[in-house]
Amino acid sequence: MKKYIVLFFVVVFSNIVSSQVEEFRGVWITNVDSKVLETDEKVAEGMDYLASIGINVIFPVVYNKGYTLYPSEVFESHFKVKTLQANGFMDRDFLERVIIEAHRNGIEVIPWFEFGFSTSYSENGGHIIKKYPDWALKDRSGNLVVKNGFDWMSAIHPEVQGYMTSLILEVIDKYDIDGIQGDDRLPAMPSIGGYEDYTVELYKSENGGLEPPSSYTNPSWKKWRADKLTQYLSDLRDSIKARDENIIISSSPTPYYWGYNEYLQDSKQWAKEKLVDNLIPQLYQYSMTDYNYALNTTVSQVRSEYPEVFFAGILSKSGSYVIDTDLLGNMIEANRNKNVMGECFFFYEGLRANNNRLGDYLKENFYSEKALIPYRKGNVRRPKAAIVNETDEAVTLIGNWAEYPMKGYEEKIYRTNDTSDYAAAEYNLTVSENAFYDVYIYAVPNTPWHDKARYTLYSDSTTFNGADSLVVLVDQSNTQLKGWQKIGTTYLKSGTKKVFKLDNSGLQTDKYIFTDAAMIMINRKIKPSVVSGVHENKKKELPQSFELSQNYPNPFNPETTIEYSIANRDHVKLSVVDILGQELNVLVDENKSAGNYKVKFDGKNLPSGIYFSKLNFGNKSKIRKMMLIK
């Protein structure tokens, strides 16, 4: 009889929760051995491809070779230049473009501070140490620390910490992002270092005047320095969360068994203190034997401290090496067998190599279903953008407009040079939830276009200094403004409504205005910051059906929340059962009125494994799969 119960649960699970897959699917995007970040066109195509294969998080590099890749006032105040002097980064804000194109596709963006506390690569400290020699990390002999070719500054020096924190907070304040990330160099410090004057004096002040041990492998000396890095991470987290609690603190250290001894990265303690919101150890191996060792060891050492944020870093490309699909598949299977629900790939070009072989393989074999990000607790922070083209029914063209054979978002654009009669293009878009939205037009600039095209934005509140509309003038002739361009931000309530219009007011007789696609995306920087899937007044609305939601967090340890809704008064039984259908806990067993309910479940007395929440309502029932990982 039991085997039939198992089959029943498997069938019900596959029918009910297949659309609720929760997996972390990330990729690092670099400016080394890659051209994708150098033009807006490549960025747009790249984000479209990543979305098509199921990627839901990207980590674009923003700090490399001791330089910011985005225009930075903080960096300029220290070094007199705003960004790395390289093609594709000097004259444009690549990060702004990445954010637009990724969010358009529903992909979260977590900027990656790759160089962290290193300054340069075999350049005797480079421009940073040349300007600030006191920032240098020193070994026992007083030499600048160089490890694996990288030059280092002291991660304990307060000015160094302040510099790095300022860069990170600048990105958070300047851009509508979803998190920030440090890797094996943030926070990190080669364990051979720590003998520079500031660190020595600090150690002496905290240890009764004693000098630091001469052996850098001394356990107490290692712990003292590692604890300083942990304290920095804790302080950084406080600063970030004070700005926005929804910003993810991501860390991708080397595996704990290596990272602690070599770089003083105590990722086990970071997980224990819940200083990170996702943790992606770099399990960069070239064989399954080595990968299994790295995975199993890191899972046993670190994952147990904070299971729901633990994912795996996989090496997809390095130089001429590109991972074989069989090996990649085996690594992902090993992750799932260990209940590691997601991975991040280093790096983007590996997925695109050999005519997209790896990326297409992931889509066909593992990422065929859209996945929610596990630590977002069943919510979607970045829903795909709402887009309408000028030829769609949602757009009303008034007056004398004509097709023009110029490549826009799709095939053509419309333009008018009519100055005698009124002409306008009114854009209606479907709004998914009550929120502030950034409004974009798809710009196809040309010198004959009007330099003061008149757009009117509409709002469902008095957003615009007490008014519900705002006129914005846009220079359509500016050839630097191509692709999606933001024209303003407005507050909109859910439903279909007119978001903006373009009209020919003020049009010069020898000029044209054009119109093409339009887009709206949620702005998460403006308060109140709402989370997609949690709508205003949700608790006040009576449900229209009988529903059992996916528990969150999932996986969980040991507590999770189960939500359910009923449309009318009846008897409700909510229970937790095992894979054999045996009832383990009864959480609710009584008559309930129509409404939305939340119930906490504590699995502290259960072993790790797969369980199900089961809701019986009248003569109906539903179940959801839950995963307990200890």
More confident residue, 625 or 489: 489
- Reported as a pLDDT band with limits 50, 70 and 90, residue 102 is very high
More confident residue, 546 or 479: 479
- Reported as a pLDDT band with limits 50, 70 and 90, residue 2 is very low
Confidence at residue 70, expressed as pLDDT on a 0 to 100 scale? 96
Confidence at residue 457, expressed as pLDDT on a 0 to 100 scale? 98
pLDDT of residue 13 exceeding 50: no
CB neighbours of residue 253 within 10 Å:
28
What tokens appear for 238 in the block?
A: 């406080």
C-alpha to C-alpha distances, 393 to 397, 426, 520, 535, nearest whole angstrom: 10, 11, 17, 27
pLDDT of residue 6 exceeding 70: no
Confidence at residue 527, expressed as pLDDT on a 0 to 100 scale? 59
pLDDT of residue 535 exceeding 60: no
Confidence at residue 534, expressed as pLDDT on a 0 to 100 scale? 37
pLDDT of residue 10 exceeding 50: no
Confidence at residue 544, expressed as pLDDT on a 0 to 100 scale? 61
DSSP string computed for 598-610: EEEEE-TTS-SEE
DSSP reduced 3-state for 276: coil
SS3 content of the chain, % helix, strand, coil (to 5): 30, 30, 40
Closest CA to 264 of 147, 133, 165: 147
CA 418/CA 412 separation, integer angstroms = 19
More confident residue, 46 or 3: 46
What tokens appear for 11 in the block?
A: 């069938």
What tokens appear for 218 in the block?
A: 């001394």
pLDDT of residue 399 exceeding 90: yes
CA 215/CA 72 separation, integer angstroms = 40
pLDDT of residue 8 exceeding 70: no
- The conformation of residue 24, written as its DSSP 8-state character, comes to E
Q: Using one digit for the tens of pLDDT, what is the confidence trace for 577-621? A: 998 889 999 999 988 877 788 899 999 999 988 899 999 988 888
Mean pLDDT of 304-310: 92
- Reported as a pLDDT band with limits 50, 70 and 90, residue 11 is very low
Mean pLDDT of 339-354: 97
pTM for this entry: 0.83
- The conformation of residue 133, written as its DSSP 8-state character, comes to G
Q: Using one digit for the tens of pLDDT, what is the confidence trace for 446-488? A: 999 999 999 999 999 988 888 999 999 999 999 999 999 999 9
Contact 481, 475 (CB under 8 A): yes
Confidence at residue 377, expressed as pLDDT on a 0 to 100 scale? 86
Sign of the alpha-carbon dihedral angle for 267, 272, 275, 277: positive
Q: Which domains does the chain have, with CATH numbers?
A: 23-371 (3.20.20.80), 386-522 (2.60.120.260), 538-628 (2.60.40.1930)
- Chain-centroid distance, C-alpha 339: 21
pLDDT of residue 533 exceeding 70: no
Confidence at residue 539, expressed as pLDDT on a 0 to 100 scale? 36
CA 611/CA 625 separation, integer angstroms = 6
Confidence at residue 592, expressed as pLDDT on a 0 to 100 scale? 81
Taking the CA of residue 537 as centre, how many other CA atoms within 13 Å lie in the half-sphere pointing to its CB? Answer: 7
Contact 565, 547 (CB under 8 A): yes
Confidence at residue 5, expressed as pLDDT on a 0 to 100 scale? 40
pLDDT of residue 1 exceeding 50: no
More confident residue, 2 or 35: 35
Q: Using one digit for the tens of pLDDT, what is the confidence trace for 486-503? A: 999 999 999 999 999 999
- Reported as a pLDDT band with limits 50, 70 and 90, residue 553 is confident
pLDDT of residue 417 exceeding 60: yes
pLDDT of residue 25 exceeding 60: yes
Report angle CA 414, 513, 429 to the nearest 5 degrees.
60
Mean pLDDT of 317-334: 97
